[in-house]
Amino acid sequence: MTAPERPLLDEEAIRPSTADADTHQRDLDALGERLVRDGVSLDDVLDELRTFEVAVPSWALGTGGTRFGRFPGGGEPRDIYEKMDDIAIIHRLTRATPNVSLHIPWDEPDEPEALRRHAADLGLGFDAVNSNTFQDQPEQELSYKFGSFCHTDAAVREQAIEHHLHVIDVGRMLGSESITVWLADGSSYPGQMHLRRSFERTLDCLYSVYDALPEGWRLFTEHKPYEPAFYATVVQDWGSSLMLAQALGVHAACLVDLGHHLPNTNIELVVARLIAAGKLGGFHFNDAKYGDDDLTAGSIKPFQLFLVMNELVDARREGAEGFAPSYMIDQSHNLKDPIEALLMTVDNLQRAWAKALLVDRDALAAYQEENDVVLAERTLRAAYETDVRPLVAEARRGRGGALDPVAAFRASGYRSAATLVRAATDYVPPRSL
Ligand code: LRH
Ligand code: MN
């Protein structure tokens, strides 16, 4: 397949004006002085900040929608190759998104090897691949209406296992080393499904997938309280996910989607528990006000995002056993330009991570030991209330990225170029949406 003409990013747009560069340097120097006063080395924080990388989901580059409507913008990617082009722009501007998380069959490549080469040309690789037994595909024999791994019909369970083995196969050809299993399986009415048998059948099927994992691969189980099941979801909460990961074995771990928690759930505590169990496999970063809203990470509850990052930096600093989470985004962009939304997301994640790096952990530990509630809280807040924008901008600039990715993207005219190149033919949504 010949790669179609591609919209290019005007490199000039990334270079900051002299005025912007001067302002940035002044802000950075001022913050640097403040950090030195607190005994923090700017360079050490910058080095640690530059280690933060997050994978972009292949399903978030086109306009998302709800059952009520979808309002596509112009110049949207028409296939997985154009999605990779757009993700390369996000990585060019943020220097923090070198990997893509692919959803199958939504973005299944006809030729995995060709896609792997295209990605490599763009400096991109692949993080976890995602299975899909929450929709029936046109050529599919048996329906997942009443579930997949939890289904009472062994033939349906077998079909779902086959799908997961196929997803692993595609992932292996792309160079991925993990699979995320989110199951929509559940019931919407009391009595509809046996609550223990359905879980046992699910675990039984996962054993078959686990046993098929290639060398070095990991399997992530993703919990979710409801939707599309509205009474009981088989993998409803972190406890159910942990039971599965512990039963499966060392190569299984739990994935935390921030939007998959009932209101007022203390998500940072869930993260701390999974770290303690050595079973924190990774994240789907996003934000939510009510349900699984898939909004821009840090846009609704930035303090909660900081508290989650605080648990991660704390575990990382301590060298917690088996701590190697995969950071991935999972969002749906109904209103914002998908690239701009993802640029904002990466910036918000980098900021939350930077603030967590600034927590004076020795002081905090001492106040916690002494049960000095006020000074313990103030120590955490001091880091959260630090304006880390110059730090995050410098981390990007130091790796050739943009000081302000959204502003650079707008100035680049990439979207209007894409609209022309992609011939205004509306984005062909995955057959399922
Ligand atoms: C389920 C979920 C899951 C993906 C899907 C796109 O709500 O979070 O991670 O498969 O969104
Ligand atoms: Mn998710």
Q: How many CB atoms lie within 10 A of CB 135?
A: 16
Does position 424 have pLDDT exceeding 80, yes or no? no
pLDDT tens-place string over residues 221-260: 999 999 999 999 999 999 999 999 999 999 999 999 999 9
397 close to 352: Cβ distance less than 8 angstroms: no
**Cα(408)–Cα(91) distance, rounded to whole angstroms?**
13
What pLDDT does residue 1 have?
A: 45
Nearest CA to ligand 1 atom 3: 182
**Cα(233)–Cα(349) distance, rounded to whole angstroms?**
29
What pLDDT does residue 7 have?
A: 78
pLDDT tens-place string over residues 108-121: 999 999 999 999 99
Does position 218 have pLDDT exceeding 50, yes or no? yes
Does position 432 have pLDDT exceeding 80, yes or no? no
- Ligand 1: which of 258, 284, 287 to mutate, judged by most atoms within 8 Å of the beta carbon? 284
**Mean per-residue pLDDT, 407-427:** 87
Ligand 1: residues within 6 Å at CB? 59, 130, 182, 222, 224, 257, 284, 292, 330
Cβ-proximal residues to 168 (8 Å cutoff; 6+ apart), any chain: 129, 179, 209, 212, 213, 214, 217
- Ligand 1: which of 257, 327, 331 to mutate, judged by most atoms within 8 Å of the beta carbon? 257
Nearest CA to ligand 1 atom 1: 182
72 close to 335: Cβ distance less than 8 angstroms: no
Does position 433 have pLDDT exceeding 70, yes or no? no
